[in-house]
Structure 1
Amino acid sequence: MADELVRYGVTGGVATLTLDSPHNRNALSAQLRAELSAGLERAIADDEVRVIVLDHTGSVFCAGMDLKEARGASAKEQGVNDFPAILERIWTSPKPVVAKLAGPARAGGVGLVAAADIAVAAENATFAFTEVRIGVIPAIISVTVLPRLNARAAHELFLTGDTFDANRAAAIGLINAAVAADELDGAVQRYVASLTLGGPKALAATKELLQRGTAEGMAETFESLLATSARFFASDEGQEGIQAFAQKRKPNWVPQ
């Protein structure tokens, strides 16, 4: 039996889903995605749960998709059909979701951060939309990320794939706050404490109010972009980029 990759616990009305796959930097493998989805449904269905916290073990919050599973797979075999549903569930959850980052987030991991209602990161955490550097595009995560970012920052960071720090992430709207590493737990607890003061039905209705214009049609948007994303992952350019990443070399489109 495979080890559990997402730990679930409830304390004082707060459900914590902890990504616990540090051996691959909490990459979004098929197993982790399935367990994260199940954990979200469990927390949302539990009347005792008021707030959901996304946490992680290890030094990395989430490195994005597990590229080992994408290597050599055709567009139909890419197998990430469940990831849009996870992002949509976080985005539309009637219970507030808080993301807690003690370390970096990349690609799909940034999509999780953007989907959360509140995100807090240690100042030493970094972010990047690395997709273009391996010959793919940030199609799926764009649905949750673009509503958060200002347009100039989105163009720069999506197109360059450059790494940026937590302070800039806060300045452009990706996260709510960047704090010293030793203050992260306290900052998250303060947000959680504030959220639990709200009435459950009022919080759910307020989330609907905030999402007006973004939640409608989200499933259809994801369906369209999923096909685009899979096509790029399976393309010659995408497979070359994934292979180059695994081999720690530059892909063949980069001047040598």
Structure 2
Amino acid sequence: MTETITIEHDARGVARLTMNRPDKHNALSAQMIAELTEAAEQLGRDPSVRVIVLAGAGESFCAGGDLGWMREQMAADGPTRAREATKLAMMLQAINTCPKPVIGRIHGNAFGGGVGMMAVCDVAVGAAGARFGLTETRLGLIPATIGPYVLARMGEAMARRVFMSARLFGAEEAVTLGLLARAVDPADLDAAVEAEVAPYLACAPGAVAEAKALARRLGPPIDEGTISATIAALVARWESDEAREGIAAFFDKRAPGWKG
């Protein structure tokens, strides 16, 4: 029984994996991270599943890190922070390496970790009017654990337009950046997702899985060393004076000391 996600299957072998914390804009809590990891592994092993659609319930796709989780990280010691960051990194890697094609259905907002969730989809289709942002630096943090996936999706040159500035951008720019394959009218979003799903149903599932694995091997390496380096960078940043000030200012609803 899951509490933060839902999984629905149709007769064709399409599984819809939905982040289901609409009251929290599907922010990534420790429980959701664990449930998403298990779901990705379970669906990847299920021979009846041909395609996975990753979606979010309510008004947003995924607002990033859960506020309660952020508070816990500020109060934690280094090893605890590293352990929790590792869980997030392993969840992203589980989706990224899932042998089934993953189609992202993106609507509303996707910030921080939500952009990371988009980047581990094989194809992401978004609703016009959606907003995106790698917002970590506003808090004195860095987009570390999601970084390898964002860079793999956008490429370094495109990623550097938005990776450090925390600037919000819309669906059309997300297409230009390579984060979205298409931006469509919200009323057409489900049809656009279906258009990405349908071709896979005519393909050999084993060949699809092996082709996806080959694409990952030929793409930028995201291995244990890369993941460990991002975790170390994030833990070091959590321990900085800027992170303490940024998180405190966020919860105090005030501007941080560096804001001009």
State the TM-score, normalized to the length of structure 2.
Answer: 0.92
Paired residue for 1:117?
Answer: 122
Paired residue for 2:211?
Answer: 206
Paired residue for 1:68?
Answer: 68
Amino acid at match of 1:194: P
Paired residue for 2:88?
Answer: 83
Distance across 2 between alignment mates of 1:77 and 1:253: 28
Q: Do 2:175 and 2:181's aligned partners in 1 also have CA atoms closer than 8 Å?
A: yes
Distance across 1 between alignment mates of 2:76 and 2:106: 31
Amino acid at match of 1:7: T
Which runs of 5 or more structure 1 residues have no equivalent in the other structure? none
Amino acid at match of 2:77: S
Distance across 1 between alignment mates of 2:76 and 2:58: 29
Superposition deviation, residue 253 in structure 1: 1.4
Distance across 1 between alignment mates of 2:207 and 2:9: 22
SS in 1 for 2:17: strand
Paired residue for 1:19?
Answer: 19
Alpha-carbon displacement from aligned partner over 1:171-217 (angstroms, at most 9, x marks no partner): 11111111000000010011111122111011011112211244755
Q: Do 1:73 and 1:234's aligned partners in 2 also have CA atoms closer than 8 Å?
A: no
SS in 1 for 2:162: helix
Paired residue for 1:232?
Answer: 237
Q: Choose which of 146, 154, 159 in structure 2 pairs with 1:149.
A: 154
Superposition deviation, residue 240 in structure 1: 1.7
Distance across 1 between alignment mates of 2:58 and 2:79: 32
Amino acid at match of 1:219: E
Runs of 4+ deviating beyond 6 Å: none
Amino acid at match of 1:151: E
> Identical aligned pairs, as a percentage?
39
Q: Do 2:64 and 2:113's aligned partners in 1 also have CA atoms closer than 8 Å?
A: yes
Distance across 2 between alignment mates of 1:152 and 1:36: 30
Q: Do 1:30 and 1:80's aligned partners in 2 also have CA atoms closer than 8 Å?
A: no
Distance across 1 between alignment mates of 2:221 and 2:160: 24
SS in 1 for 2:164: helix
Paired residue for 1:241?
Answer: 246
Distance across 2 between alignment mates of 1:240 and 1:68: 17
Q: Do 1:9 and 1:15's aligned partners in 2 also have CA atoms closer than 8 Å?
A: yes
Alpha-carbon displacement from aligned partner over 1:120-158 (angstroms, at most 9, x marks no partner): 110111110001110011111111011221433322211
Q: RMSD in angstroms over aligned alpha carbons?
A: 1.7
Amino acid at match of 1:157: V
State the TM-score, normalized to the length of structure 1.
Answer: 0.94
Q: Do 1:139 and 1:229's aligned partners in 2 also have CA atoms closer than 8 Å?
A: yes
Distance across 1 between alignment mates of 2:220 and 2:51: 20
Superposition deviation, residue 237 in structure 1: 1.4
Distance across 2 between alignment mates of 1:56 and 1:241: 28
Distance across 2 between alignment mates of 1:5 and 1:95: 22
Q: Do 1:88 and 1:219's aligned partners in 2 also have CA atoms closer than 8 Å?
A: no
Q: Do 1:28 and 1:65's aligned partners in 2 also have CA atoms closer than 8 Å?
A: yes
Paired residue for 2:145?
Answer: 140
Which runs of 5 or more structure 2 residues have no equivalent in the other structure? none
| Worse-superposed segment, 169-178 or 75-84 | 75-84
Structure 1 residues 192 and 214: CA distance shift in structure 2, 3 A: same
SS in 2 for 1:39: helix
Structure 1 residues 216 and 153: CA distance shift in structure 2, 3 A: closer
Amino acid at match of 1:186: A
